[in-house]
Homo-oligomer: A and B are copies of this chain.
């Protein structure tokens, strides 16, 4: 892991505080426009205080991205422990991803918009952890298809389309009208696994039809 000045362990909480506010500032103003001075104003930490936690604006952007992917990967690996059913593993993957991003909208925007703003050597390090995450998703997906893997689905397109469904959510999710991470992940899993034309017919609406979907989503 590159490029963070070492600091005492009890500073960890303060670093997290800074990274969280920095994600907000970058999401709001864009990386290019945002300054460390803006971050200082928002966090109430002096400039020299901030530079104790990161070396440069580039280093800060790297730390935000590293933390996001590390957290997601770690919680996914924990949640997968001891779970062997391929559909269950697949649902855990979707729920884990959505839960993280719905509760970290600023990070989601920064990850999506500031990918190209990251320069060497940070860029390749982030690319590597993203590849690890993609590969894990791909394994989960391949297990899910199992013997069907010769069938008509192009796995690269399928997995990247699934990421598209999940990652586009920061563009439209409105907590006031849209479902939470649990229900959203069940909806997306159901569409992805069974498609919209294979959903069970039902004459009942709203709450009860959501239950129908839930049953599809959990495989009953």
- Partner of A152 from the list B148, B158, B184, B210 (CB cut-off 8 Å) is B210
Interface range on chain A (Cβ under 8 Å from partner)? 35 or more
**Given A161-B165, A165-B161, A179-B154 in contact, is the A192-B194 Cβ separation under 8 Å?**
no
- Count of identical protomers in the assembly: 2
Question: Does B213 contact A148, Cβ atoms closer than 8 Å?
Answer: no
- Partner of A153 from the list B151, B157, B184, B199 (CB cut-off 8 Å) is B199
Question: Does B192 contact A196, Cβ atoms closer than 8 Å?
Answer: yes
A32 to chain B, nearest CB (A): 5
**Given A33-B32, A192-B195, A196-B192 in contact, is the A164-B153 Cβ separation under 8 Å?**
no
Minimum-distance CB pairs A-B, first 9: A164-B168, A152-B213, A195-B195, A194-B195, A161-B165, A152-B212, A164-B165, A152-B199, A164-B164
